[in-house]
Amino acid sequence: MKILHFHIVTLFPEIFDSFLRTSLVGKAVTAGLISVEMVNPRDFAVDKHRTVDDTPFGGGEGMLLKAPVVVEAIESIDDGDRRCHRVLLTPQGRLLDQRQVTRWVHGSKHLVLVCGRYEGLDERVLAFVDEEVSVGDFVLNGGEVAAMAVVDAASRLVPGVLGNAASAHNETHQGGLLEYPQFTRPRAYRGKGVPEVLLSGDHQRIQRWRRQQRLVRTRDRRPDLWRAFRCSADDAELLSEVITSEENDGKQTRPNSGSTATSGTYIALVHHPVYDRDGRIVTTALTNLDLHDIARASCTYGLASYFVVTPLQSQQELAQRILGHWQKGHGARYHARRAEALSRVRVVATIQNAVESIAETEGRTPMVVATTAARRQGQIGFEGLTRMLGGDQPLLLLLGTGWGLSQEILDQSDKVLCPIEGPTHYNHLSVRCAAAIILDRLLGVREEH
């Protein structure tokens, strides 16, 4: 029987007393399925006051935990050849997910959880831990609550902790999907009933419905998880039934929902107002390549729509002729996949028209994010913007033609994205190239090595 050992480095071990005596964690401790040891850095202080913190070099607010007391507390846990996996709980770490918890449980018998306090720890502590982990994009008074979350999540995966081992395989985040909806008595409550399938007694239908609900819930509620999920052939069939039902009900569905649709995310190619090379405000001409290539990128990354913004009626008519050729004419018969990509294109006269269209579709005004090749104060980075995707507010990403969006558009936008930068100083990219890079950084699936 595998026992999972937790070693928690904390200045406040008493915080854990009630947590370790109650519920499933308490039962697991009592049954000997997990063990939890507290290690207090104060025990490694050498002065008579047992000092563990000090003021930061260079000045600043608050106090920092000193490196010697924390490092010696960590090293005291090692015992001969025993290998402990050391985790620092910090808001600057990688966001914790179910896959990481599973790897810890299967890969380590001893897990060291280091809890920060005050304004943080001396940076040199990082050389003595294996990884930094955050439980969310918010700040706690210390790492103890985060450590409890890790102990609770990991304990559930230890054989024997859960009364029903199958529970851990069907719940939220297991297998990359959210959990299916569940109901119990009474059968009717305040006008709300229970899905008929759950009352049918047909276990095969019930299992099929539950899988379908996990897929739909993840697609609709957590686009970030959905982008990383890969549908099997059976999953795709289940989703196709839902999509057909939604279309029959007259509901708007996400494009390409059977794969990696990203609800609420839009892109716009702006032809006015933009700068020319002399810094004058101009209206640029639409190009066939821009229309096709950004539409194809929008389709690849599952965007809801791609807006082409031009105030010139002649340019609008040109765009519609091109779209008609590929959506209804010879092009549609010749190249169906190109028609699928171009079906996302919407031609509008102004950015405000695009905003209004999104608001009508989504029920909320989108957050408008402008792009530029120049550095300016207050820009948002790619990682920060990625965290906002999939939230309640839709997002409209503006790309400028010519020599970039006008200052007026940059100032009126809710946020301005940092420029694309490589290892050289050169960043004069075509708008098609920039669109592909931006979409991949924000929405691309990353393989883990």
**Locate tokens 């006269």: which residue?**
349
| Each residue's pLDDT tens digit, 367-377 | 999 999 998 88
Distance CA 111, CA 34 (A): 11
Bridge-partner residues for 305, per DSSP?
266
pLDDT confidence band for 122 (50 / 70 / 90): very high
Residue 428: both structure tokens together = 């004069």
**Among 139, 116, 148, 135, which Cα is nearest to 41's?**
116
Domain extents in the chain: 4-155, 199-248, 265-443
What b/e readout covers 391-407, taking b as 16+ CB neighbours within 10 angstroms?
Answer: eeebbbbbbbbbbbbbe
Please tell me the class of the 4-155 domain.
Answer: alpha beta
pLDDT in the model for residue 257: 36
Q: What is the mean pLDDT of the chain?
A: 88
- Is the model's pLDDT at 174 over the cut of 80? no
Find the mean pLDDT for residues 443-447. Answer: 77
- pTM for this prediction: 0.55
Task: Report whether the peptide linkage leading into residue 186 is cis, meaning its omega lies within 30 degrees of zero.
Answer: yes
Distance CA 316, CA 286 (A): 9
Name the range with the highest mean pLDDT among 73-87, 154-168, 254-268, 348-362: 348-362
User: What is the distance in angstroms between the CA of the first residue and the CA of the last residue of the chain?
Assistant: 30
- Is the model's pLDDT at 251 over the cut of 70? no
Handedness of CA 7, 11, 16, 17 (dihedral sign): positive
Domain 265-443 fold is: Alpha/beta knot (3.40.1280)
One-letter identity of residue 341: A
| Each residue's pLDDT tens digit, 272-317 | 999 999 999 999 999 999 999 999 999 899 898 999 999 999 999 9
Percent of the chain with pLDDT over 70: 89
Domains 4-155 and 265-443 alike in fold: yes
Point out the least confidently predicted range of 141-155, 332-346, 426-440. Answer: 332-346
Name the range with the highest mean pLDDT among 76-85, 170-179, 244-253, 336-345: 76-85
- Correct CATH for 199-248 of 1.10.1270.20, 3.30.479.10, 3.90.1010.10, 3.40.830.10: 1.10.1270.20
Distance CA 364, CA 348 (A): 19
pLDDT confidence band for 254 (50 / 70 / 90): very low
Point out the least confidently predicted range of 229-243, 276-290, 344-358. Answer: 229-243
Bridge-partner residues for 38, per DSSP?
8
| Each residue's pLDDT tens digit, 37-72 | 999 999 999 999 999 999 999 988 889 999 999 999
**Among 177, 121, 111, 116, which Cα is nearest to 150's?**
111
One-letter identity of residue 170: N
- Is the model's pLDDT at 237 over the cut of 50? yes
